[in-house]
Structures are given as C-alpha cells and as structure tokens.
Amino acid sequence: MTPGRALLTVNGLQISYHQQGQPVTVVHDVSLQVRAGQIVALIGESGSGKSATALSILGLLGHGGRIEQGEIWLGEHNLRRCSKREYARLRGKMMAVIFQDPMNALNPLMTVGKQILESVKRHSGLRGQAARRSALQLMQRAGLENSEKLYHQYPFQLSGGMCQRVMIAIALASESRLLIADEPTTALDVSVQAQILDELRRLRDEEGLGILLITHDFGVVAELADEVYVMRDGRIVESGSVYNVFERPAQAYTQELLSAATAVD
C-alpha cells in the first residue's frame, strides 16, 4: 500500500532529564515520520530513549524532562510553537495513545463501558442513547464481542488483553488518525499478544491509521511494521523499511537485537 499523508514528523529532537540535579541528554537528534496507513516501529534496548521520545510527542514528559531542541509536527501543526492550550486541544483530537499496562491505565472503580462513554462524550459531544450506542460500536471495532455484557463490567473482571482492547476503544473515540502505542503487548500473555497485534494491523489496513509502535521485540517488528527506526543510547542508529533492515542490518547492534529475537522464537 502507498503510504498516505504525514501524520507525525519529528525533526532533530533532543530531550534531557534532570538526573541528580543535572540535565542529562537522553535523546539526541531523533528524526522520524509516521504516515497514514503505516506502522512505524521504534525499537531499541531498555533505556535507549523510546518512551522519552513518545512522551515528548504526547507532551507528557513530566517533571524534570525537557525538549531542548527539534520540531514536532502533527500534520500541519508545529507543536513546539503552540500554546499549552492549543497543544492540549490538538493532542486530544489528533493523537491517541495506548500503554504497556492497560489494567493500571483504567479506573478500577468505574465500569469499562462508562470509561469508553466518557471518552465518546469528550470527543464527540454526543449525549444519552446516541453516546451509548457509539461506545458500544467502539467496543465492537476494538474487537470486544459481547459488548452489551462487557459494558457493565469492571476492569478487574477482564483479562489483560480485553483491558487493552478497552484502551483501544477509548483511543478510537478521539477519531485521531495517529496512534502511539508504547509496548502495547509486553505485559500480556503470548497468545493474547498476537490478537492485539492483529488488531493494530486491522486498524492500519482497514481504517488507515498511522501507528508509532514502540517495542524492544524484533519479532513484533517483523510481524507488522512497515518501517523501523533502531535506537541506541538516545540516537537513531539505523532506519528504513523493515525488509531492508532485516535483510541487511548495517549495524552490529541491530544484528544483535535481531539474533536475540530469532533466538527466542
């Protein structure tokens, strides 16, 4: 498939964190792009700066984290030139996110239906029965069958895989075309991992979403990514189509990651 328009463009991103009172650069000169209908993987060992990159795009670096340099474009919007308010508005409308630990990301005291409903109300302005119908449809789209029954259940009554599908339903309520997924299957059982990966593939192929998929697992990259960026010590050390990087990894580091992935299979 020909990739669509650029949903996300990152240029020359540099991020620092305060560690023991000193700013330490943890991401250096990272540039990447995600287009509609594409899964772009960001892979690298633990601590290589994958999450810092994702969090900076989401405006969620938190205390002590700072973007020192670079540009982040969401479509035509230069996020680093936006007011805080505009950033928050664009984030809600144009970026959806799912994280590693879906169980903890959900409110334990609220039914999953209600949580999806709140996301629908926030993003669509729908109310009453129309909002409820939309929430049920989102559950179906996220692969939650039997949505009428699940609607009234609490997160602890669901498996990790189902909780991740609830997170996907909440993400889909925003109608954003870009999904940022930080290790979305790492905390799940192997059998469920494959189902969630299938769901991401479907969102790309059938709905044309662009997905930035963060992982440390080359098996996952091989399964479904189109392009891959390999990170090490805060830098992109290699990038290209998955086919090229797999066939001809230029860096010894990439070869090591690859052989680690094939060793477990």
Ligand X SMILES: Nc1ncnc2c1ncn2[C@@H]1O[C@H](COP(=O)(O)OP(=O)(O)OP(=O)(O)O)[C@@H](O)[C@H]1O
The residue among 48 and 174 lying less far from ligand X, judged by its C-beta, is: 48
Write the binding mask 28 to 57 for ligand X: x where contact by CB under 6 A, - elsewhere.
Answer: ----------------x-xxxxxxx-----
Smaller CB separation from ligand X, 79 or 231: 231
Q: Report the 10 Å Cβ neighbour count for 28.
A: 18
Question: How many CB atoms are closer than 10 A to CB 32?
Answer: 19
Which amino acid makes up residue 129?
Answer: Q
Beta strands in 5-120 (DSSP E): 6-19, 22-35, 39-44, 65-74, 77-78, 95-98
119 binds ligand X (CB under 6 A): no
Q: Tokens representing 3?
A: 């990739």
Mask: binding to Mg ion, 27-56, rule CB under 5 A, as x and -?
------------------------x-----
**Mask for 194-223, x = binds ligand X (CB under 6 A):** ----------------------x-------
* 50 vs 141, beta carbon nearer ligand X: 50
Task: Output 13 or 52, the one with its CB closest to ligand X.
Answer: 52
Contact in structure between 216 and 187 (CB atoms under 8 Å): no
Among Mg ion, ligand X, none, residue 26 binds (CB under 5-8 Å by kind): ligand X
The CA-CA-CA angle for residues 31, 35, 37, to 5°, reads: 145
The residue whose two tokens read 């299979």 is 265
> Which residues form the interface with ligand X (CB under 6 A)?
17, 19, 26, 44, 46-52, 64-65, 216
